[in-house]
Amino acid sequence: MEILEAYCLKTKQKEQMFEAIISQTSRGGWMAKGVTKDGHKMALIMSKANAELAIEKGLAKTEIK
């Protein structure tokens, strides 16, 4: 995993995610929220292993609760 890629909520195209913040959902899943290079919102549902790997590699930050 070199970059986080997700689908843009506006254009429906798969793009690189910037300013990613990973949080745990109320049901126990993991989700990354970020923006595209154009500033459109995007979201990515991921496994716990991928979420921890992204945080470890510095691709995303965690949500502080």
Q: Outline where 1-65 has alpha helix (H).
A: 48-56
For residue 64, give Cα distances in angstroms to 22, 24, 28. 10, 11, 16
11: which 2 tokens?
A: 């254009």
Cα–Cα distance measured from residue 22 to residue 44, given in angstroms and rounded to the nearest whole number: 9
Q: Give the torsion sign (CA, 19, 13, 43, 2).
A: negative
How does pLDDT run along the chain (65 residues), one tens digit per residue?
Answer: 788 999 998 999 999 999 999 999 999 999 999 999 999 999 999 999 999 999 999 999 998 65
Task: Note the pTM of the prediction, 2 decimals.
Answer: 0.83
